[in-house]
Amino acid sequence: MAWSRIARGAFRSNGIYRYSLLPSARPCSSLLRPIMTSNMEHPCNMENMGDFKFGRRGITTTHEYQFPSAERVIEDVSDLEDNVTGEDLPGLGPTKIGEKPRVVVLGTGWAGCRFLKELDTEMYDIVCISPRNHMVFTPLLASTCVGTLEFRSVAEPVSQIQSALAGAPNSYFYLANCSGIDTDKHEVYCEVAAGAGLPRDPYRFKVAYDKLVIAAGAEPLTFNIKGVKEHALFLREVNHAQEIRKKLLSNLMLSENPGISEEDRKQLLHCVVIGGGPTGVEFSGELSDFIIRDVRERYSHVKDYIRVTLIEANEILSSFDVGLRQYATNHLMKSGVHLLRGVVKEVLPKEILLNDGTRVPYGLLVWSTGVGPSELIKSLDLPKSPGGRIGVDEWLRVPSVEDVFALGDCAGFLEQTGKLVLPALAQVAERQGKYLAGLFTKVGKQNGGKAYSAKSISFGEPFVYKHLGSMVSVGRYKALVDLRQSKDAKGLSMAGFISWFIWRSAYLTRVVSWRNRFYVAVNWATTIVFGRDNSRIG
């Protein structure tokens, strides 16, 4: 006991157990609500732990901003871990006079990354907070599930999209989830997933902002159907595609094992896709092409058992006109995809129960029925647009709070704007990001970048979205291209091989970096010449 008192006294005198606060530290408002992500849509990639630095750049708990009223003496290390309050959180305080305004961006999807790419870093400092350090080129994600493309070909590091995050002295990328927002104090509260090996588990911190851009995306819609989250796989992230690929190849190899009954083999090799939208159709087409060109050659013992079923409650590709939908239906059926109309009632470990009582056994189940608001978006005490997204005005501002903007899949126009909520499309998110970056440049030139300084500034022209058309691949060198603004408008609408060539050419040019364009082109060429790789790694 005597030695412990002496040691504790020495620690106090040296300030080892002092925990300093930034000047802005105050209790959290009612808007701060810790969230636990339910389905890990953007799982934490801890390979990039170098982004969390304890020192000059990054999160810091040094004595740089010590104030007598904020000091606490911790009698035991467990007190530090278990009794952390809003006032105890380390992080970045408000910007000072002479410093550039700080823009905090939540999310690294299409909207957030396009905004980051276009934002003038001579005018603003940037802090990006996301549980992933890359952007996913989602139109080509289905191709990675069957080996047409490598996973890294569709992932673009955020530090290459915006180099300031890697090198600018006051710009940072933080690998974390947003757990709450205090709009009164202009603070974002963050949490690193448990098991990261940081001083506290989970590790929490806060970041003050001058302007906040919420581009946190959306989550797959499950319609609260029992068993979906437990047994189905989604297709929105690279790790989702990796899981699908592992499951598909595992089932192919396991079905060849001796002693497997014919009934079990059919169940293992039945691939079911729920949802007839673009993602579901493209994955079904890729899967059927993989079966025809690769499975029948390399898995000859089970080639006659593998099949694909696409289940949709209504019409597939409902956003396309009747002629294109019929072409897609006929082509998928010729490719061996069984189209089944029905509504899922429950998902069991090895079979799906439909509303009409039909039971559909499966070995691989991919769920692709659209997206909806995430748990974070639902929890925020902000106005909501129809559908539960964050409500924004014509300038993508959240009108009820100061200096907060929202864009992408997590945002939608408020009813009073008279505009319809835009679809959750990459082209919508990308153009919103570009527009908002331009708006921030206008605001910055009028000295409105700092917090509470843009009230009297004219924002100029509001955001207007014009649809550029839709494209979807249906497998086996066929695709649909509809470049009309609506199904009833005039314009180019076609299907077939030329459409497939347009589809590939368009997306190749839209890949963010030249490096990934090269990867994609090489992967496509390799697949045509040598076929797809069927190695199961991991």
DSSP 459-505: --SPP------EEEEEETTEEEEE-SSSTTS-S-EEEEHHHHHHHHH
Distance CA 131, CA 193 (A): 9
Task: Find where tokens 């647009």 sit.
Answer: 385
Query: Is the CB of residue 99 less than 8 Å from the CB of residue 214?
Result: no
Token couple for 470: 């839709």
Question: pTM of the entire structure?
Answer: 0.82
Residue of 53 and 101 predicted with greater confidence: 101
> pLDDT value at position 30?
39
Q: Where are the domains of the chain?
A: 91-218+373-446, 233-369+468-530
> pLDDT value at position 200?
87
Q: Which tens digits make up the pLDDT trace of 49-65?
A: 334 333 333 333 333 33
Give the distance, in angstroms, between the CA of residue 515 and the centroid of all CA atoms in the same chain: 22
Q: In what order do the strands lie in the sheet with 470-475?
A: 470-475, 478-482, 493-496
Common-topology check for domains 91-218+373-446 and 233-369+468-530? yes
Q: What is the mean pLDDT of residues 133-155?
A: 96
Q: Which tens digits make up the pLDDT trace of 273-310?
A: 999 999 999 999 999 999 999 998 889 889 899 999 99
Q: What is the mean pLDDT of residues 420-437?
A: 96
* pLDDT cut 90: percent of the chain above it: 76
Task: Find where tokens 């069984």 sit.
Answer: 338
Q: How high does pLDDT run on average in the chain? A: 85
> pLDDT value at position 29?
41
Task: Find where tokens 């040019």 sit.
Answer: 509
Query: Is the CB of residue 91 less than 8 Å from the CB of residue 206?
Result: yes
528, pLDDT greater than 70? yes
Token couple for 197: 């090996």
**Per CATH, which fold does 233-369+468-530 belong to?**
FAD/NAD(P)-binding domain (3.50.50)
Q: Which tens digits make up the pLDDT trace of 203-224?
A: 999 999 999 999 999 999 999 9
504, pLDDT greater than 70? yes
Name the nearest CA neighbour of 352 among 270, 421, 292, 408. Answer: 270
Q: What is the mean pLDDT of residues 381-408?
A: 96
Token couple for 139: 């139109």
> pLDDT value at position 491?
83
> pLDDT value at position 438?
97
> pLDDT value at position 488?
75
Give the distance, in angstroms, between the CA of residue 152 and the centroid of all CA atoms in the same chain: 16
CA distances from 182 to 212, 218, 285, 288, 472 (A): 11, 21, 45, 49, 41
Provide the phi-psi class of 217: left if phi over 0, else alpha when psi is between -120 and 50, else beta.
Answer: left
320, pLDDT greater than 80? yes
Query: Is the CB of residue 154 less than 8 Å from the CB of residue 137?
Result: yes
> pLDDT value at position 490?
82
Scanning 16-171, the segments in alpha helix (DSSP H) are 77-82, 110-118, 141-145, 158-161, 164-167
> pLDDT value at position 87?
61
Q: Which tens digits make up the pLDDT trace of 470-485?
A: 999 999 999 999 998 8
Amino acid residing at 484: R
Distance CA 291, CA 437 (A): 44
Please report which confidence band the pLDDT of residue 199 belongs to, taking 50, 70 and 90 as the band edges.
Answer: confident
Residue of 77 and 119 predicted with greater confidence: 119
Distance CA 503, CA 480 (A): 8
346, pLDDT greater than 60? yes
CA count, 13 A, side-chain hemisphere, 455:
6
> pLDDT value at position 193?
84
3, pLDDT greater than 80? no
> pLDDT value at position 538?
67
CB crowding 119-143: b at 16 or more within 10 Å, else e: bebeebbbbbbbbbbbbbbbbbbbb
**Per CATH, which fold does 91-218+373-446 belong to?**
FAD/NAD(P)-binding domain (3.50.50)
CA distances from 63 to 5, 171, 203, 293, 448 (A): 24, 21, 19, 63, 32
> pLDDT value at position 86?
54
Please report which confidence band the pLDDT of residue 517 belongs to, taking 50, 70 and 90 as the band edges.
Answer: very high
Distance CA 200, CA 524 (A): 45
State whether the Cα torsion 237-242-248-254 is positive or negative: negative
Token couple for 73: 């003496």
Which H, E and C letters describe 230-262, residue by residue? HHCECCCCHHHHHHHHHHHHHHHHHCCCCCCCH
Q: Which tens digits make up the pLDDT trace of 126-137?
A: 999 999 999 999
Scanning 24-95, the segments in alpha helix (DSSP H) are 77-82
Amino acid residing at 316: I
Task: Find where tokens 């408000």 sit.
Answer: 94
Q: What is the mean pLDDT of residues 28-33?
A: 40
16, pLDDT greater than 70? no
